[in-house]
Structure 1
Amino acid sequence: MTSPDPHGHETPTRPSDEAVLEAVATGLPAALSDLGRLVRIPGMAWPAFDQTQLERSAEAVASLAEDTGVFDEVRVLRAAVPGTDELGQPAVLATRAARNGRPTILLYAHHDVQPPGDDALWETPPFEPTVRDGRLYGRGAADDKAGIMAHIASVRAVSETLGDDLDLGIALFIEGEEEYGSRSFGQFLADNRDALRADAIVVADSGNWDSVTPGLTVSLRGNARFTLRVRTLEHASHSGMFGGAAPDAMLATIRLLSTLWNDDGSVAVDGLSAREAPTPEYGEQTLRDEAGFLPGTTPIGDGTILSRIWNKPSITVIGIDATSVAAASNTLLPEVAVVISARVAPGQSGEEAYAALERHLREHSPFGAELTFSDVDLGNGFLVDTSGWAVTMTREAMEDGYGVEPVDLGVGGSIPFIADLVREFPEAQILVTGVEDPHSRAHSPNESLHLDTFRHAVATEALLLARMNDRRL
């Protein structure tokens, strides 16, 4: 259906918000059913896991995109991993060209998931989607297969309400290795630059203020992750014969790691910066509840709680190779390896942060311990320019989709590939959204999706697409 604009041109008549929201509500059961089918596919990008499952996952997403009837072309593609002879994991790229001077929007999510960890810690099997207490449980139910289905469901709803008047250009990019470091991401963008070029990019891989209040992510911390190997002896020795004189690697590692933090748990590394920015009110009890504190545990760091999470660096030891408790013997360990994961304040590069960490560790190495650094993985943070029309339109769609005014969020986690998007598409407005709430437990046992949050997220994106379809460039 069309009507003349002031210049006499035919333009689409925008459907009412009520029609869009009705289409969202009607399509929600099918979207959740499709989400359940995706959750059942254990697609993990680590080589130790069955890689055919990732191929299944990509094909399933491609089929969902094709079935919308919206896209001109749907492909499953791989890109080279720079510096290697490998190809990255399969990604889905679906495109439709903009018509009649309308903008193009790129919708991003990822279909790979984190490994489930110890199955015994799950109340229900990780790859068997289960609904209880208003939440859908399963690995990937929130991160990020719900992001995929938010895109698919919103495209379905807008296609149903607009029909032949859908002139908006849409590119759907569903990555297959985000949890594995997006190793081929930059090359994929370069290989498919023209197909991916857009005026606005929605990255559906973040969270919300809570289960009923939407959040638009406007800042992200960067990351610096690496393996540190500490050696003090050529070989293991009897702890009774030489203990007290010979420095074992565990002692050296403990002493060295302890220099990374002040007594209050804040970071004590010169050269790691913090960002000064106001934060919303967020009390200690909320932190305790959302992070799952034990009764006697106290918070760490200084400043407001959200400044510690959003705007300051943090350092976590996320892995260790040493003798297990079960195999312990009276032995001085010659070598210990740890994986250190640092989150970097927005505005500081991952390279600069890593240099500060390596310098600190070398300067504080106790007993002359030999240090080796390897498997370095760096990512830069991100600060959103909130002055653009797409940001304004997204905030308005969030308020109408959730019925609650959105909150501008900083996020303590990292999405390093956003720097690649900014480099390849500097003119695009980047909108970081998501379907998670603070109790989603992404990456943890019993990951879940709050079903009402999902419904509101789909409504928000459908409203955004319908309204963008009414905009001329």
Structure 2
Amino acid sequence: MQLQEVINQFWESEAQPALMRYIRIPAKSTAYDRLWKEHGFLDECCELGQEWIKKVLPQAQTEIIREEGKTPCLLVDIPGTVQNQSETVVFYGHLDKQPEAGGWREGLGPWTPVVENGKLYGRGAADDGYSLFSMITCVYGLKALNLSHPRIVGIFETQEESGSNDLPYFLKKLKDRFGKPKFFIILDNHCGDYEHVWLSTSVRGVISGTLRVQSMHYGVHSGTYSGMVPDPFAIAQALVARLHDPISGFVKISSCYADIPQRRIDQLKRAADVLGDLVWNHAPLLPGVHTKCTTNHEILVQETWKPALTITGMDGLPRIEDAGNVIQSSVALRVSMRLPPDIDFSAAEKDIAHALTRNIPYGCQVTWQYPENHPGWTAKDNAKEVENQFNESARAIFGKEAVFLGQGGSIPIINTFEELFPEGAFVLTGVLGPQSNAHAPNESLDIEYTKKLTAVMADAIHRSCGE
């Protein structure tokens, strides 16, 4: 296909070398670099992107948005070839990075780009630096072949790995400059393999907070007091058990469940058929340990459309080597409840808080604090048309239909986009496939898959013009 050939050539000659320069910048996100402003690495990433775009696509307008106390972001605006310049396609990605992480194998490093066996290694390559270079490659391919496309806008932030705290402010401030988005392409997502186009149609929400239980002013000798005084750890366990069954994992709070659309159930069935045991066998289970669900389809439904609780942290108990015969006075558990989209999120918040803080055994003091609450998201009916366009493009480029999947994690910023642009549809896709190791040692980008996915996006954008 001619479009793929043009994209391949441009990627190899222009985009990949620029991406490799980006990898060399130690642009750690603000949570991991408190001196990010002084170091200037986040600005350097935006500047690199701006200078490169000016070189390879001079018709694009670029601006680095800076405000005191906020992280910079790069805004890209490319005129369309169609008459209606108010309708847009919007790309989103991020340029900040996770920290180095230890354990990179010999010859590799977080800030050293290395191409080996079809992979580009380096921190930020796949998560999520490729997004900017893929977008520009996509547009270059369309223009090189005189293929029609709407106006294209891209926003690339530098705080995603720290929660995107500044992005809502910028989106509201820049809202009018986005025009009327036909659809958004969110390039910060997973793919199940490198043989298909993978589109996420939902993400789970999360309610995460600290449950603290205190029964005494200070710890006491367990030989004297066990059986007499309440053990805060046991009380905390009992309160958490009000939320879920610790063996089956069944969540007992009815407001935490959604009615799953049949269309999504059918799509997850096909995804399970495509992935087979890849649905679960990437989990580092010990020999003899098996998953909670018995079929691959059930696993996908569970991790995308059903609630699940995990204890992710604990304070108050000493290390084993420091543990004496003492009943502690208080303990604290970090409780994380993943929630499906399309629920009454406020009701779930209230019901979880009520279960943890009412009718406490033995009158112990309990607090539920610092909840980190993010609702889930699911693609609305207005996404069907663009999903079909991407499906047709997937057939053209990959020779196979796209696979539609949900995501178990949370991407809170999507809800902000949707609140500001309720008429726009959303496409969540990405290159974080098997062994891409985002956030971990040896992060890598599958080069051929990235080029093919870029061609799919270009083809789908052209199809959106109805030609």
TM-score (ref. length: structure 1): 0.83
Tell whether 2:359 aligns with 1:340: no
SS at match of 2:255: coil
Q: Deviations over 1:151-195 (max 9, x none)?
A: 232233334333xx7663111101222222222332211100111
1:29-44 matches, within 5 Å, as 29=12, 30-40=14-24, 41-44=26-29
C-alpha separation between the residues in 1 aligned to 2:462 and 2:248? 49
Residue 332 to residue 200, structure 1, CA distance change in 2 (3 Å): same
Q: 1:258: Cα distance to partner?
A: 4.2
Distance 1:130 1:326 in 2: 42
Partner of 1:217: 200
Equivalent residue, structure 2, for 1:112: 96
Conserved in 1, the CA contact under 8 Å of 2:119 and 2:445?
A: yes
* Amino acid in the other structure paired with 1:422: E
Residue 366 (structure 1) shift: 4.5
Residue 68 (1) aligns with residue 56 (2): yes
The percent of aligned pairs where both chains have the same amino acid is: 26
- In the alignment, what sits opposite 1:361? 356
CA contact (8 A) 1:222 1:349 kept: no
Once superposed, which parts of structure 1, at least 4 consecutive aligned residues long, lie more than 6 Å away?
none
Per-residue CA deviation, residues 295-338 of structure 1 (Å, 9 max, x unaligned), is 22221257811110121112222233345537724243333333
1:8 aligns with none
| 2:279 corresponds to which of 287, 302, 307 | 287
- Give runs of aligned pairs for residues 297-316 of structure 1, distance below 5 A: 297-301=289-293, 304-316=298-310
Does the Cα contact within 8 Å between 2:91 and 2:135 map onto a contact in 1? Answer: yes
Asked if 1:455 is matched to 2:455, the reply is no
CA deviation string 1:120-141 (max 9, x = no partner):
4777433434444543344333
Q: How big is each residue's C-alpha offset from its partner over 1:406-436, in whole Å with a ceiling of 9 and x where there is no partner?
A: 1122222222221111111122222222122
**1:256–1:364 contact (8 Å) kept in structure 2:** no
2:73 corresponds to which residue?
A: 91
Match of 1:7 in 2: none
Paired amino acid for 2:251: V
Q: Cα distance 1:386–1:423, how it changes in 2: closer, same or farther (>3 A)?
A: closer
Structure 2 partner of 1:12: none
What are the equivalent positions in structure 2 for 1:57-456 lying under 5 Å apart? 57-78=45-66, 87-98=69-80, 100-102=82-84, 103-117=87-101, 119-120=102-103, 124-162=108-146, 168-197=150-179, 198-240=181-223, 242-262=225-245, 263-276=247-260, 277=262, 278=265, 279-281=268-270, 282=272, 285-301=277-293, 304-323=298-317, 325=319, 328-330=322-324, 331-363=326-358, 365-384=360-379, 385=381, 388-456=384-452
Offset at residue 24 of structure 1 (A):
0.9
Offset of residue 446 of structure 1 = 4.0
Query: Structure 1 residue 200: deviation in Å?
Result: 1.9
Q: Distance in 2 between matches of 1:127 and 1:324?
A: 38
> What are the ranges of 5 or more consecutive residues in structure 1 without an aligned counterpart?
1-17, 80-85
Q: Kindly tell me: are residues 324 and 447 of structure 1, through their superposed partners in 2, closer, same or farther at Cα, counting changes over 3 Å?
A: farther
How many residue pairs are counted as aligned between the two chains? 445
Partners of 2:91 and 2:338 lie apart in 1 by: 26
3-state SS of paired residue (2:388): helix
Check 1:194–1:446 CA distance in 2 against 1; reply closer, same or farther (3 A cut): same
Letter in 2 for 1:261: H
1:54 is aligned, of 14, 30, 42, to 42
Deviates more, 1:202-211 or 1:284-293: 284-293
326-335 vs 221-230, which deviates more?
Answer: 326-335
Greater mean deviation of Cα atoms: 306-315 or 147-156? 147-156
Pairwise CA RMSD = 3.0
TM-score, length of structure 2 as denominator length: 0.84
